[in-house]
Chains A and B, each alone.
Chain A
């Protein structure tokens, strides 16, 4: 089971080139698609989810041509878009039941079981008869994943599911995602590095429509072993460091600035070697 993306290109009518000849192979399991805002993640996600046309390229999923056999894709797809609303004044249970029916679970009894198990699983069972319009952001995202899971999908796409969630809700959401079977493809697009490091066995980084890096997170981190250096500096001197060194990230810590630099050798004696993390991989790739 594999999703193969070949030479995908897409330019919007306003001239923005969202995808530039992008090729990617996505294996079974949780796949993290990392990139900054505007990198083309959502365009790619929507294209895979049959919602958007591309100018060139091909996508194949187990022999299904995703770009032309849309109906076939939709039958095995679970999709949680970046943003979604719901019909006004409708309860979680009713809407989930509606989706379940439309997703081909015609048997009433079966549908009830599916809906209830999903509600339990996403911890919405208690609130099942409440109006979704009144749900908090976290509850709404959980509802979103519940609807994406209906009907045993083989391909699940979740587009920026954790942005805007508080840490508790994000953890809850991670727990949920982590339970989804290992035997299907789950594509998680995000700009939050922890989402990927916590969950994904494979990942890719895209920026400005192009693929920058792909592989297993652990391997990608290992590649940076011994190359990341950190130093505490005065806030005012950051500019000097940036011109002199390959600064991949900086952050404030107790009134001073901590800079991390990518270099094969120690840049100067006041730098200390630190263990690389996925964030370093991400920043070193996109900067």
Chain B
């Protein structure tokens, strides 16, 4: 029986064209994915898998793409495996079928396995597409590694087959038991919800195992397994099918089996017969209550009235009934609840940064809600547009309905409005959800105006636009399922591909120049351009709706020819006028936007950008090593006009030719959009480049500047924002919170950062590979510090003016403050030499003041952001204290933090001032009872330490560049944190840095350097630096290190070129290190060293003298990795901490009772220790001294040794 039905199902499926279409779609997507990875297709916003040093066909990429395609393929699985029993209901063949003498198990399992087998065959397209894609001749050969059969076969068995069986069982069950195909859509949505929840759980530090179990797609465990895999490992290793992945697969297969079993139990052929009988019975009852027609009652005829009011009432009537219909629709409710459930499951990590959450401030809640709800709203728009358009036809009421005296436009607009009201409703739900999230996060500042503007003025219009588009498609296509497909494909195209293809928002449906919100700047300057883009797209969408009106199917004619004829007939004067006038509005606004973005402002397409960069490099690279005079004195007047978004910059610089040669030609870098009022050197000169779009002036001095000569340089220029630009406009000059730095001011020399950085593009253009940082002994490069090459140490003085509501800030002591007209003026002067590295800020501020040794320490902040001011002040003060005690005196007379809008998210130390982004610490929620990373405190300490490690000691721009700056700032912050944190808190902090280092290095796209020769890699600067210095400090001691640093700063502080390097710093360290420990520098700084330390066995036995003997079996392995992560094992020969823990006095926690460094020089070592108290846990290296991917097995529970007699 089973075989017969199974065979029938196979044959049936093999005859269906859909089977082959699905195969082709999957093949195409797989083929496309590998081509994108292989560098054959540019400009796409989508990429699944890893790039950089990871091969396109690396096993991990094949695994990840295969898995993503099964996730996408859920729709196919649902259509194929979900439908076989439902099919009998749909075609009403169940009446026939169920009377045949078939067994339930034969019928159900035959159908299920038959479809599942065909579905599995269909999904061979994924593996085949990937394989065939990977051998295409046009792929970048450097991106293709060895192709092994196992790479393709493994995900097929561990992923495709289980997923099809499990999802198939779920869909099969849903459709068979509910007899509604929509149940499958909801099922699919729920699977996505669980998947999304699992992915976001994975982001947190806890619950990783739970997340890996929860994910039905089997994707999350992969990410957990490979989180530390380096590019080399990604290229070489297949995913091990054990641990989390195996458990995940088993759990879900079991669940699938249970679902099938449940379906088998619940499904019955008789069930239908019974139901039908019940219905008959009911009817009979109701029939029997009837009397003969009552002819005594006359027909009550009322004449209908048709006027404008009738139209309005009818519109309301349909809108209302359709609105309530959707609202009561159980699938709508299910999708909505799925969305809300999704939200609550993910809001755990709101604004998470370093595992520390932020306060749920309104803009963040809205961003979270919208990004999570976006997909659900699109699903609702797509599906309910179909339901609305097809409602009458779906319930076969269309002939009656279409003959009603309603205008087409009334039918369309009323149904459309119903969905718009639904979207209003969803926005309202989001608002309420948002407020609930805020309350649950202990945040009670409900900024209703921000909610209102964001939800109803910014987000809702987009959804209305999408709805108009969906209506247009559904009406025009006039086939529900085909139209769904068109709408979904359009959305995918519009969001994923259109931005890459068209670049300009004028060609991306519904797009705008973005309207970011900041507590400091509000919606600010973007409101106007945003409105223009929206008007433009609304005009377009209205044209679509007017066209839809013409093609609306009313009655029973559905062929395109007749519809065209009808459409022609429907064109009358008012309609023609509406279409024409909307078209005029559309074109007019489009032209106006174009005028703003491309005429008043510069719009540079990607290709133009590449061309400009290419020309720059080809024509001007020769100036790279050309010497230029250095700035020695800076006097700047920066007049900020926040409300006009305008700057007036006046500068008087003193320059000096510090070289021993004459200088005749220099590149003076000035952005070409600046309006230059005057530009002058005190020596005769000529500007020789005439191209107005060059971001520099090529200046020839005649006579040339002799060695040792000084000259003056003056400029006067305007930076204005005219009209609006395509991509979001100026985010630095703002109504409140202007923040500009020295990069906006004139500088000298060829700028390597402007070169094309993409390796493939450079190959195509036959440019040589991009150069890394200069070598550590490059004597020319040693002459420049890495902040900039325009100057060494300068005298700095500046005047800032701004509008009367704001204060203006720059580095230096305030020497004078005055008002002139309605503007505030501030005159600052530095009494100390500083780097040519300055910033100007203007905003309305609240100030929190404090003092450290008579030096003002202050935070300037946006009202409402009071949360972490004390942490910041504490970080600054403790750091000032620590650095001035241990290294050298603090060189300035004050230290201040300034908050700036969240449009950029960083913190940077300038001389005596620290601009600190609004989105980076001000709203962090530091919970003292949770051991979370207090980054406002830590970062404040770090940036303060930069006043020494950057503003007193600056390194040369060569390899190893950040060792004397970032690493030492991190070290100082770590030492400050140590004073403040308990030991468990410190360990948590180190664990965090270890995780970040291992995780970031695994995604390195270029190469990982050693610490000693780093090239400014963020994960070396901030994460590995901490681990390395923690180890060094543990071995040679804080005092030795600090004395070395004090000596170092004395030696190189404020030095003129050549500048110091990492090697010089390490030499200072080495001088305070005993010879026996000198090997450390090799492992810590000159190699990439990794360890795999673990305790295999830990046993104790009580001795006769009351003491305890602990026996440990330890495994220790050491590896050296190369720049892409190939590891080579090397003999271990280290001093490693061996520890034993016992219960503390209260019996609540554990405390260390033994900790000693043991020399471990074998892979396997047994250690015997005698301790006084009963041991609980024991093991090796608990304090993060060695970089180890798995820390949890370092220390394990100690068991009592059973005596075997």
- Whether, in the assembled complex, B1076 has its beta carbon less than 8 Å from a beta carbon of chain A, the answer is no
B556 touches A51 (CB 8 A): yes
Q: A136-B287, A151-B303 are in contact. Are A175 and B396 (CB under 8 A)?
A: no
User: For residue A175, which residues in chain B have a CB less than 8 angstroms away from its CB?
Assistant: 293, 295
The A83-116 residues at the B interface (CB cut-off 8 A) are 83-88, 98-99, 101-106, 110-111, 113-114, 116
Question: Contact mask B406-425 → A, CB, 8 Å, 1/0?
Answer: 11000000000000000000
Number of B residues, CB within 8 Å of A: 52
Q: Which of B309, B400, B554 has the most CB of A within 10 A?
A: B400
Query: Measured between alpha carbons, how far is A49 from B402 in the docked complex, in Å?
Result: 9
> Shortest beta-carbon distance, A99 to chain B, in Å?
7
Which residue of the partner chain, among A79, A121, A134, A152, contacts B302 with CB atoms under 8 Å?
A152
Query: Measured between alpha carbons, how far is A274 from B1193 in the docked complex, in Å?
Result: 107
A121 touches B565 (CB 8 A): no
> Shortest beta-carbon distance, B324 to chain A, in Å?
11
Q: Which residue of A lies closest to B410 (CB)?
A: A102
A75 touches B295 (CB 8 A): no
Question: Contact mask B272-289 → A, CB, 8 Å, 1/0?
Answer: 000000010011001101
B302 touches A71 (CB 8 A): no
A106 touches B305 (CB 8 A): yes
Query: Measured between alpha carbons, how far is A89 from B546 in the docked complex, in Å?
Result: 33
> Shortest beta-carbon distance, A141 to chain B, in Å?
13
Which residue of the partner chain, among A46, A101, A113, A123, contacts B314 with CB atoms under 8 Å?
A101
User: For residue B314, which residues in chain A have a CB less than 8 angstroms away from its CB?
Assistant: 101-102
A127 touches B286 (CB 8 A): yes
A105 touches B304 (CB 8 A): yes
Query: Measured between alpha carbons, how far is A149 from B404 in the docked complex, in Å?
Result: 12
User: For residue A123, which residues in chain B have a CB less than 8 angstroms away from its CB?
Assistant: 290-294
User: For residue A111, which residues in chain B have a CB less than 8 angstroms away from its CB?
Assistant: 302
B302 touches A53 (CB 8 A): no
User: For residue A114, which residues in chain B have a CB less than 8 angstroms away from its CB?
Assistant: 300-302
Q: A13-B561, A52-B556 are in contact. Are A118 and B286 (CB under 8 A)?
A: no
User: For residue B406, which residues in chain A have a CB less than 8 angstroms away from its CB?
Assistant: 74, 102
Query: Measured between alpha carbons, how far is A106 from B302 in the docked complex, in Å?
Result: 11
Which residue of the partner chain, among A13, A106, A130, A152, contacts B559 with CB atoms under 8 Å?
A13
> Shortest beta-carbon distance, B566 to chain A, in Å?
6
Question: Contact mask A209-222 → B, CB, 8 Å, 1/0?
Answer: 00000000000000
Which residue of the partner chain, among B290, B317, B557, contacts A101 with CB atoms under 8 Å?
B317
- Whether, in the assembled complex, A235 has its beta carbon less than 8 Å from a beta carbon of chain B, the answer is no
> Shortest beta-carbon distance, B302 to chain A, in Å?
5
The A165-223 residues at the B interface (CB cut-off 8 A) are 172, 175-176, 179-181
Q: Which residue of A lies closest to B304 (CB)?
A: A104
The B526-561 residues at the A interface (CB cut-off 8 A) are 554-557, 559, 561
A121 touches B293 (CB 8 A): yes
B297 touches A117 (CB 8 A): yes
User: For residue A13, which residues in chain B have a CB less than 8 angstroms away from its CB?
Assistant: 559, 561-562
Question: Contact mask B390-408 → A, CB, 8 Å, 1/0?
Answer: 0100011101101111110
B306 touches A136 (CB 8 A): no
A74 touches B396 (CB 8 A): no
Which residue of the partner chain, among B325, B405, B569, contacts A75 with CB atoms under 8 Å?
B405
User: For residue A80, which residues in chain B have a CB less than 8 angstroms away from its CB?
Assistant: 400
User: For residue B397, which residues in chain A have a CB less than 8 angstroms away from its CB?
Assistant: 84-87
Q: A81-B399, A99-B404 are in contact. Are A149 and B299 (CB under 8 A)?
A: yes
- Whether, in the assembled complex, B321 has its beta carbon less than 8 Å from a beta carbon of chain A, the answer is yes
Which residue of the partner chain, among A88, A117, A138, A144, contacts B300 with CB atoms under 8 Å?
A117
User: For residue A83, which residues in chain B have a CB less than 8 angstroms away from its CB?
Assistant: 396, 399
User: For residue B321, which residues in chain A have a CB less than 8 angstroms away from its CB?
Assistant: 98
> Shortest beta-carbon distance, B170 to chain A, in Å?
25
B309 touches A106 (CB 8 A): yes
Q: A123-B294, A151-B303 are in contact. Are A74 and B405 (CB under 8 A)?
A: yes
A49 touches B405 (CB 8 A): no
Q: Which of A50, A80, A151 has the most CB of B within 10 A?
A: A151
- Whether, in the assembled complex, B310 has its beta carbon less than 8 Å from a beta carbon of chain A, the answer is yes
A104 touches B293 (CB 8 A): no
Q: Which of A85, A104, A127, A134 has the most CB of B within 10 A?
A: A104
Query: Measured between alpha carbons, how far is A130 from B287 in the docked complex, in Å?
Result: 12
Which residue of the partner chain, among A84, A113, A152, A176, contacts B396 with CB atoms under 8 Å?
A84
> Shortest beta-carbon distance, B1104 to chain A, in Å?
84
User: For residue A85, which residues in chain B have a CB less than 8 angstroms away from its CB?
Assistant: 395-397
Query: Measured between alpha carbons, how far is A49 from B305 in the docked complex, in Å?
Result: 20
Query: Measured between alpha carbons, how far is A101 from B1017 in the docked complex, in Å?
Result: 71
User: For residue B286, which residues in chain A have a CB less than 8 angstroms away from its CB?
Assistant: 127, 130, 134-136, 139
Q: How many A-B residue pairs have CB under 8 A?
A: 150
- Whether, in the assembled complex, B117 has its beta carbon less than 8 Å from a beta carbon of chain A, the answer is no
- Whether, in the assembled complex, A147 has its beta carbon less than 8 Å from a beta carbon of chain B, the answer is yes
User: For residue B561, which residues in chain A have a CB less than 8 angstroms away from its CB?
Assistant: 13
A75 touches B306 (CB 8 A): yes
Q: Which residue of A lies closest to B284 (CB)?
A: A136
User: For residue B306, which residues in chain A have a CB less than 8 angstroms away from its CB?
Assistant: 75, 104
Q: Which of B402, B559, B565 has the most CB of A within 10 A?
A: B402
- Whether, in the assembled complex, A265 has its beta carbon less than 8 Å from a beta carbon of chain B, the answer is no
User: For residue B773, which residues in chain A have a CB less than 8 angstroms away from its CB?
Assistant: none
User: For residue B301, which residues in chain A have a CB less than 8 angstroms away from its CB?
Assistant: 114, 151-152
- Whether, in the assembled complex, B1168 has its beta carbon less than 8 Å from a beta carbon of chain A, the answer is no
A118 touches B395 (CB 8 A): no
B283 touches A98 (CB 8 A): no
User: For residue A53, which residues in chain B have a CB less than 8 angstroms away from its CB?
Assistant: 555, 557, 562, 565-566
Which residue of the partner chain, among B292, B395, B402, contacts A87 with CB atoms under 8 Å?
B395
Q: Which residue of B lies closest to A169 (CB)?
A: B287
Query: Measured between alpha carbons, how far is A80 from B287 in the docked complex, in Å?
Result: 22
Query: Measured between alpha carbons, how far is A287 from B558 in the docked complex, in Å?
Result: 33
- Whether, in the assembled complex, A22 has its beta carbon less than 8 Å from a beta carbon of chain B, the answer is no
- Whether, in the assembled complex, A77 has its beta carbon less than 8 Å from a beta carbon of chain B, the answer is yes
> Shortest beta-carbon distance, A175 to chain B, in Å?
5
> Shortest beta-carbon distance, B322 to chain A, in Å?
10
- Whether, in the assembled complex, B610 has its beta carbon less than 8 Å from a beta carbon of chain A, the answer is no
- Whether, in the assembled complex, B318 has its beta carbon less than 8 Å from a beta carbon of chain A, the answer is yes
B313 touches A49 (CB 8 A): no
User: For residue B556, which residues in chain A have a CB less than 8 angstroms away from its CB?
Assistant: 46, 51-52
B407 touches A126 (CB 8 A): no
- Whether, in the assembled complex, A120 has its beta carbon less than 8 Å from a beta carbon of chain B, the answer is yes
Which residue of the partner chain, among A46, A120, A172, contacts B399 with CB atoms under 8 Å?
A46
Query: Measured between alpha carbons, how far is A232 from B291 in the docked complex, in Å?
Result: 42
B317 touches A104 (CB 8 A): no
Query: Measured between alpha carbons, how far is A68 from B1200 in the docked complex, in Å?
Result: 98
A51 touches B402 (CB 8 A): yes
The A127-143 residues at the B interface (CB cut-off 8 A) are 127, 130, 134-136, 138-139
Query: Measured between alpha carbons, how far is A32 from B399 in the docked complex, in Å?
Result: 21
Query: Measured between alpha carbons, how far is A12 from B323 in the docked complex, in Å?
Result: 37
A51 touches B554 (CB 8 A): yes
Query: Measured between alpha carbons, how far is A13 from B302 in the docked complex, in Å?
Result: 41
Query: Measured between alpha carbons, how far is A74 from B403 in the docked complex, in Å?
Result: 6
Q: Which residue of A lies closest to B303 (CB)?
A: A152
> Shortest beta-carbon distance, B993 to chain A, in Å?
60
> Shortest beta-carbon distance, B181 to chain A, in Å?
15
A179 touches B299 (CB 8 A): yes
> Shortest beta-carbon distance, A116 to chain B, in Å?
8
B400 touches A79 (CB 8 A): yes
Question: Contact mask B924-936 → A, CB, 8 Å, 1/0?
Answer: 0000000000000
B302 touches A120 (CB 8 A): no
A118 touches B310 (CB 8 A): no
User: For residue A102, which residues in chain B have a CB less than 8 angstroms away from its CB?
Assistant: 314, 317-318, 404-406
> Shortest beta-carbon distance, B1119 to chain A, in Å?
67
Q: Which residue of B lies closest to A127 (CB)?
A: B286
B295 touches A151 (CB 8 A): no
User: For residue B293, which residues in chain A have a CB less than 8 angstroms away from its CB?
Assistant: 121-123, 172, 175-176
The B925-949 residues at the A interface (CB cut-off 8 A) are none
User: For residue B559, which residues in chain A have a CB less than 8 angstroms away from its CB?
Assistant: 13
What are 5 A-B pairs with beta-carbon distances under 8 A? A13-B559, A13-B562, A53-B557, A110-B302, A123-B294
Besides A111-B302, A134-B282, 4 new A-B residue pairs in contact (Cβ under 8 A), listed by A number: A106-B313, A121-B299, A134-B283, A176-B293
